Amino acid sequence: MSSDKNYKTIKTGKAYILYDASIITEPSLLFFDRDYHTKQQAQQNNSTAEKSGGIGRARVAYFSQQGRSLVLKHYYRGGLVAALFKDRYLGLDIEKSRAFREWRLLKKMAGLGLPVPVAVAAHVEKAGLFYRADLVTEEIKQAQTLADVLSANNIDAGLWQNIGACIKRFHQHNVYHADLNARNILLAGDRREVFLIDFDNSDIRANTASWQAANLARLHRSLCKFKKNQPAFKFDDAGWAALLAGYDGAVA
């Protein structure tokens, strides 16, 4: 596993790049150019250059470099302010930028042995009081979001319990996921391995039952919303009860 001594920050014009030198050599700005990667993949007749779902609001590009399969996420605003600012965020301190904070949180969680994507590089480009940002992680191979799986298939009680136990592991390490929903849970390894993704605006906070319960409630609302919009969505009370059983029975 890489250590802090491998974490490098470079400045190129108005852009700042934070990266793990144990994973890649020093990246250029082109490394964070979504259009470039999409065109490169299209030229190689690779239809998977862009995929939907699993990364919240963000549009992502999938690409390969130095023998690794990578995912490039650009940060976009949500809510009413999105119409005005789209992908611009207020902030002068790059270490407090969404990309740098998520990158460092991913590294910390990986160090705790939690199932998260491998953080590769973060990019922040400043413009006056605002900045735009990107994050590159390693792709979790052969994975589907929980939402996509349930749109077509039932999952057994054992897998529901695995999902609950996975969430409990994060809570035991005081990790608050700001947007725990059915698209930010990935199932891989023949759907038995569970990962959490998209930790934008998430953090490690004091251990209290209130935010942990709110995390679970947010996921439950997400699953119920999918069920409401897709009557064939394979979610019911029994599945939720199994998830909670796995959560309550989990050990660190």
Catalytic residue positions, numbered: 179
Residue type at position 167: I
Contact 17, 121 (CB under 8 A): yes
- End-to-end Cα separation, the chain, in angstroms: 20
For residues 75 and 56, give the distance between their C-alpha atoms in angstroms, rounded to a whole number: 10
Residue 29, Cα to own-chain centre: how many angstroms?
Answer: 22
For residues 230 and 215, give the distance between their C-alpha atoms in angstroms, rounded to a whole number: 23
Q: Is 73 exposed, middle or buried (0-12, 13-18, 19+ CB in 10 A)?
A: buried
